[in-house]
Structure 1
Amino acid sequence: MRHASEAELPEHSAVIAGRKVPTARWIDVVDPATARPFARVARCGPAEVRAAVEAARHTYETTWRFTSPVERSAVCHRIAGGLRARRQELARLETLDTGKPLGQSLADAGIAARYFEFYANALEALGGETIQQRPDRLAFTLREPYGVCGHIIPWNYPLQIAARTLAPALAAGNCCVLKPAEDAPLTSLRLAGIAEEAGLPAGALNVVPGYGDEAGAALAAHPDVDRLAFTGSREAGEAVMTAAARNIVPVTLELGGKSPHLVFPDYDAASAVPQIVESITEHAGQNCSAGSRLLVHRSVHDELVAALAERFRSLRLGPGLDDPDMGPLISAKQRDRVLGYLSEVSDSSIEVRAGGGVPGGEAFADGFYVEPTLLDRVTPEHRVFNEEIFGPVLCVSVFDSMDEAVALAEHTTYGLAAGIWTRDVTAAHWLAQRLRVGQVFVNNYSAAGGVELPFGGYRRSGVGVEKGLEALREYTRCKTVAIHARLPS
Structure 2
Amino acid sequence: MTAADLIHTYRTTGTLPHLPQGHFIDGALHPALDGAEMDSFDPGRAQVLGRFAAGSAADVDRALSAAERGFAVWRDTPPATRCRILIAVAMLIRAEADLLAVVESLDSGKTLAEAQGDIAGSARLFEYYAGAADKLDGRSPDLGGATVAFTSREPVGITAHIVPWNYPTSTLVRGIAPALAAGCSAVVKPAETTPFTALLLADLLVRAGVPAGVVNVVTGTGAEAGAALVRDPRVRHVTFTGSVDTGIDVMRAAAPNVTGLTLELGGKSPLVAFGDAKADQVAEGALWAIFSNSGQICSAGSRLILHRSLHDEVLSRLVERARGLRLGHGLGNPDMGAINSALHLSRVAAHVDAARDRGLDIVTGGHALQDPESGLGWFYAPTILDRVASDDPAVRQEIFGPVLTVQVFDEIDEAVALANGTDFALNAGIYTPDISTALQAARRIDAGQIAINDYWAGGIELPFGGNRKSGFGREKGLEGLEAYTRTKSIAFAV
Secondary structure of the equivalent of 1:470? Answer: helix
1:399 and 1:130 map into 2 onto residues whose CA distance is 53
Task: Find out whether 1:44 has 2:52 as its counterpart.
Answer: no
Q: Mean Cα displacement is larger for which, 377-386 or 284-293?
A: 377-386
- The correspondence for 2:477, drawn from 450, 468, 471, is 468
Tell me, what secondary structure is at the counterpart of 1:276? helix
State how far apart, in whole Å, the 1-side matches of 2:117 and 2:214 are.
26
The AA in structure 2 aligned to 1:242 is R
Indicate conservation of the 8 Å contact 2:297/2:400, yes or no.
yes
Asked if 2 retains the 8 angstrom alpha-carbon contact of 1:46 and 1:215, the reply is yes
CA positional deviation for 1:362: 5.7
Cα displacement string for residues 8-64 of structure 1 (whole angstroms, at most 9, x for unaligned residues) = 996611110012101201110100011110100110110010011111111212x11
| Aligned-residue offset at 1:356 | 1.1
Task: Give SS of 1:213's match.
Answer: helix
1:454 matched to 2:463? The reply is yes
Contact residue 73 and residue 121 of structure 1 kept, 8 A: yes
8 Å Cα contact 1:267-1:423 kept in structure 2:
yes
Is residue 29 of structure 1 aligned with residue 40 of structure 2?
Answer: yes
2:412 corresponds to: 402
CA deviation string 1:321-357 (max 9, x = no partner): 0000001100011111010011022233422121111
Residues 205-234 of structure 1: per-residue CA shift (max 9 Å, x gap): 000011000000000001111111000111
The farther-off stretch of 357-366 and 469-478 is 357-366
Match of residue 105 from structure 1: 115
Distance 1:193 1:136 in 2: 51
Percent of matched pairs sharing the same residue: 44
Q: CA deviation at 1:91?
A: 0.5
- Asked whether 1:372 is paired with 2:382, we answer yes
Match of 1:18 in 2: 27
> Residue 179 of structure 1 corresponds to which residue in structure 2?
189
SS in structure 1 of the partner of residue 380 of structure 2: coil
Amino acid at match of 1:298: R
Alignment of 1:216 onto 2:218: no
Measure the CA separation in 2 of the matches of 1:378 and 1:229. 35
Matches within 5 A, 1:157-176: 157-176=167-186
1:413-471 per-position Cα deviation (integer Å, ceiling 9, x unaligned): 00000000011111111111111110010111117x41111011000000111000001
| 1:385 partner letter | V
CA distance in 1, matches of 2:311, 2:227: 46
CA offset at residue 271 of structure 1?
2.9
> Of the candidates 250, 258, 279, which is equivalent to residue 260 of structure 2?
250
2:322 to 289, 300, 312: 312
Report the Cα offset of residue 286 of structure 1. 0.3
Provide Cα deviations, 1:157-208, integer angstroms capped at 9, x if missing partner.
0011111100000111000000000100100000011101100000000000
Letter in 1 for 2:56: G
Query: Which shifted more, 345-354 or 298-307?
Result: 345-354
Is residue 364 of structure 2 the alignment partner of residue 322 of structure 1?
no
Q: Provide the aligned length of Structure 1 versus Structure 2.
A: 482
Which range is displaced more, 250-259 or 240-249?
240-249
Q: Look up the match of 1:268.
A: 278
8 Å CA contact retained: 2:20, 2:52: yes
1:357 and 1:417 mapped to 2: Cα distance?
27
| Structure 1, 246-255 or 266-275: larger mean CA deviation | 266-275
- In 2, the alpha carbon distance for the partners of 1:272 and 1:424 equals 15
Give, in angstroms, the shift of residue 105 of structure 1: 0.3
Task: Indicate if the aligned counterparts of 2:279 and 2:313 stay in contact, CA closer than 8 A.
Answer: no
CA distance in 2, matches of 1:216, 1:258: 25
Q: Structure 1 residue 247: deviation in Å?
A: 0.6
TM-score of the aligned structures, taking structure 2 as reference length: 0.95
Name the CA distance, whole Å, in 2 between partners of 1:363 and 1:91. 22
Paired amino acid for 1:122: A
**In structure 2, what is the Cα distance between the partners aligned to 1:103 and 1:361?**
17
**Aligned residue identity for 2:396:** N
Any conservation in 1 of the 2:390–2:418 contact (CA below 8 Å)? yes
Q: CA shift at 1:132, angstroms?
A: 2.0
The reply on whether 1:331 has 2:336 as its aligned counterpart is no
Q: Which amino acid aligns with 1:245?
A: A
Structure 2: 5+ residue runs without aligned partners? 1-10
Contact persistence 2:448–2:464 (CA under 8 A) = yes
Q: Distance in 1 between matches of 2:299 and 2:371?
A: 31
> Is 2:451 the partner of 1:429?
no
Moved more, 344-353 or 283-292: 344-353
Within-5 A mapping of 1:224-303 = 224-303=234-313
Cα distance in 2 for residues equivalent to 1:175 and 1:381: 45
Confirm or deny: 8 A CA contact 1:64 1:201 kept in the other structure: yes
After TM superposition, give the deviation of residue 274 of structure 1 in Å.
1.8
Taking the aligned partners of 2:279 and 2:53, their CA distance within structure 1 comes to 48
1:460-485 deviations in Å (ceiling 9; x for gaps): 00011100000112210111111111
Query: What SS does the corresponding residue of 1:454 show, helix, strand or coil?
Result: coil
Partner of 1:92: 102
Q: Is the 8 A contact 1:234 1:256 kept in 2?
A: yes
Q: Aligned to 1:483, which of 481, 487, 492?
A: 492
Name the stretch that deviates more: 67-76 or 362-371.
362-371
CA–CA distance in 2 between the matches of 1:147 and 1:253? 18
Shift of 1:246: 1.1
Q: Which amino acid aligns with 1:476?
A: T
Q: Is the 8 A contact 1:9 1:39 kept in 2?
A: no
1:207 equivalenced with 2:217 (yes/no): yes
Contact 2:329 2:371 in 1 (8 A): no
TM-score, scaled to structure 1: 0.96
Quote the residue 2:66 is aligned against.
55
Contact 2:280 2:317 in 1 (8 A): no
Pick one of 447, 452, 468 that aligns with 1:442: 452
Superposed CA RMSD = 1.6
After TM superposition, list the pairs within 5 Å mapping 1:87-166 onto structure 2.
87-166=97-176
For structure 1, the residue ranges without an aligned partner over 5 or more in a row are none
Question: SS of 1:130's equivalent?
Answer: coil
**Mapped contact 1:74–1:120 kept (Cα < 8 A):** yes
Structure 1: how far apart are the matches of 2:67 and 2:431? 47
What is the alpha-carbon distance in structure 2 between the residues aligned to residue 381 and residue 314 of structure 1? 31
